[in-house]
Structure 1
Amino acid sequence: MAAFQHSSDLNDRAQHLLKVLVEAYIADGQPVGSRTLAKRSGLDLSAATIRNVMADLEEMGYISSPHTSAGRVPTSQGYRLFVDSLLQVRPLESEDVTILQGRLNASRDPNSLIQSASNLLSGITSLTGVVTLPRRNPSAIRQIEFMRLSERQVLVILVFSRNEVQNRIIELETDLSTAELHQAANFLNECLIGKDIHAARHVLLEEMREHRAEMDRLMQAAITLGERAFDGMELHSDQDCIIAGETNLMSYEDLSDIKKLRDLFGAFTRKRDILSLLDKTIQADGVQIFIGREAGYNVFDDCSLVTAPYSLDNEHIGVLGVIGPKRMRYDRVIAVVDLTAKLLGVALQSRS
């Protein structure tokens, strides 16, 4: 795989022509030829010079040539450079700002605000809008106990700070005595009391990574018991995010392949991959953009996701954004997502 190129690897002329090419392709959806670039670039360059620059851009991985056309289209790498270094985000038109402010105000209940935000993101961008529900502070672990049910079957008792108790049965690969289970519980309680599930998993992972060599059998068994005890506890329900405008994507030629659409709609229905991706951005500040494979899920290989966290009491409590083809109006979409996140946070803050 070729090394990623940075804008510093391109001279001003090449950067300008790439910017013009990406903007032309986003606007028209057609491969861009040298004549189009010559007209739109505003540069006094010969067709031969432009073709040479395009050949260099293609060799560096920023653009590609569809088999059926002599023109070029941006690659994911080209879009990434465009978004990071060449894009100028413009302020939203006053009409869009008025619509967002009118629909995202403190007079509405939180559930209505979340639904409105998703619908607005979809309606204003003509893409798919998604908003995760606000997360309350996670419960902390107060106590872990293990009870031997049979040779390789153990009952796990988890007590949390809100007096929540969860019981689950796990299967072991090796038999552990009642005394060994008690020792394992003591070890885990020392490490994990006061931590939420996410932090507990991190501690277990670090313990295994740093001390694997000197761990005895019982300590390894305790770590395994802890991992099994928390396995699946952070799975999201289908109500953890609101998605709107899924069918908008059917109008984009980039996503017109039936299999791609079927896979995308399947992801919208399950929501698991979308939630997992959005979870990764909840601690980020400002707008985050995932282009193609950067999302980490094959189903989004032909898509871009533009996300931003929204906050309450200076704490990020959720994420919103849009999903659409890589050929999207980033200058406008980024502004819509950014303002929607800010307005949603302000509205929720006013209600608290």
Structure 2
Amino acid sequence: MVEDRRLAVLRAIVEDYVRTEEPVGSRALVERHRLGVSPATVRNDMAALEDEGLIAQPHTSAGRVPTDKGYRMFVDRLTTLKPMSSAERRAISNFLDGAVDLDDVVQRSVRLLSQLTRQVAVVQYPTLSSSTVRHVELVTLTPTRLLVVLILSSGRVEQRVVELAEPGTGGSDVADVEATVADLRPRLLAAVIGKRIAEAAAALADLPAEVREEDRTLAQRVAEALGDAMSDHHADERIAVGGTANLARYGDSFDSAVRPLLEALEEHVVLLKLIGEASTGGAVTVRIGAEGPYHELSSTSVVATGYGPAEAPASLGIVGPTRMDYPGTMVAVRSVARYVSRILDDA
């Protein structure tokens, strides 16, 4: 009973401090929250919480503020997260459903997440080197031009225009080129569909030898175009960052963390490490203050989760001060991740 009551007092202190940014006193707790006990009992509970290192007094005669340990207990003891309203879910769906490709999905996601949480949002692109080829399409544009479309399991779409050597390559008109493409298409699909990038690229090297001699020039150019499209995904992992302007609202109270955090935002390797250890399977990871990998960012917290298909996992989340609305932020991060995953699965 005493432990439950002290947890309720801790929860009230966290909620009030996050909302007001002012140290919380016993009188304010009694006035704002229905704790069912006297002010003297609340003071005793606060003294016990302070002894346990869960709250601290920033200066003499001030109220109390949560410590990193207090925030951790608060987060760990959350029994439920209030779901988003139907209007909020609809707004997320409408905003993300309009995306046209993976880049658009990521940019929309980071913008949405920063708006929902009023924090700095970070979205990692899916691990494209682990992606598989979902589909390849060949579209005849003219007798001398083909459009090659590559679609990956991560949702990435790449397009390349293939310029044939000269009019008449593969045929003298569009109909002849279409006939050549119709013969090449099933061979191409059989070679790359369902394979990872590296395997598909290797299979493309053998493709020209498998078609008729008169079609090898076209097959070679198609293979080169697809190889070029796939080579883009061997680059280092990329991230998108949004909501940096949200840091301005913390002013002097967050000055000790703003400068190192701004510096960290310039280092994508740092941001990847911050959110890259997020849980998969829908769980949300919360790292508070010194729990993170960088001492310079000990005044910040990270709330992140995994998203995307299993073969191309990625993470998204937010970075902000330890004084944040953890329940609301956790719900927003989880909801955006679920919608993004759904969009990529349906792509």
Assess same fold via TM > 0.5.
yes
Deviations 1:50-82 (A, max 9, x none): 111111100101000011652000001101111
Partners of 1:34 and 1:301 in 2: CA distance:
28
Give the structure 2 partner of residue 201 of structure 1. Answer: none
- Across the aligned residues of Structure 1 and Structure 2, the Cα RMSD in angstroms comes to 2.6
Contact persistence 2:279–2:285 (CA under 8 A)? no
SS of corresponding position for 1:45: coil
Give the structure 1 partner of residue 320 of structure 2. Answer: 324
% same residue = 34
Match of 2:284 among 278, 282, 287: 287
Structure 1 gap ranges (5+): 1-7, 140-159, 164-234
Q: Is residue 2:107 matched to residue 1:110?
A: no
Match of 1:263 among 260, 263, 267: 260
Give the structure 1 partner of residue 244 of structure 2. Answer: 246
Partners of 2:27 and 2:316 in 1: CA distance:
40
Give the structure 2 partner of residue 341 of structure 1. Answer: 337
The letter of the residue matching 2:293 is: G
1:106 CA drift (Å): 6.8
Matches within 5 A, 1:221-240: 237=236, 240=238
Deviations 1:56-111 (A, max 9, x none): 10010100001165200000110111111046421113332222101212752111
Moved more, 42-51 or 113-122: 42-51
Contact persistence 1:121–1:129 (CA under 8 A)? yes
Partners of 2:73 and 2:267 in 1: CA distance:
32
Contact persistence 1:310–1:345 (CA under 8 A)? yes
Q: 1:12 to 1:256 in 2, by over 3 A?
A: closer
1:278 CA drift (Å): 2.1
Partners of 2:58 and 2:92 in 1: CA distance:
39
Partners of 2:79 and 2:268 in 1: CA distance:
30
Give the structure 2 partner of residue 37 of structure 1. Answer: 29
Instruction: Name the larger-Rg structure.
Output: 2
Structure 2 gap ranges (5+): 132-197, 203-233
Give the structure 2 partner of residue 122 of structure 1. Answer: 114
Give the structure 1 partner of residue 295 of structure 2. Answer: 298
Partners of 2:235 and 2:25 in 1: CA distance:
46
Deviations 1:203-234 (A, max 9, x none): xxxxxxxxxxxxxxxxxxxxxxxxxxxxxxxx
Per the normalisation by structure 2, the TM-score is 0.66
Q: Is residue 2:57 matched to residue 1:59?
A: no
Deviations 1:287-317 (A, max 9, x none): 11111111121232111111111122x4461
Q: 1:91 to 1:138 in 2, by over 3 A?
A: closer
The letter of the residue matching 1:281 is: A
Partners of 1:134 and 1:42 in 2: CA distance:
46
Partners of 1:306 and 1:118 in 2: CA distance:
14
Q: Is residue 2:303 matched to residue 1:311?
A: no
Contact persistence 2:284–2:334 (CA under 8 A)? yes
SS of corresponding position for 2:24: coil
Give the structure 1 partner of residue 195 of structure 2. Answer: none
Per the normalisation by structure 1, the TM-score is 0.65
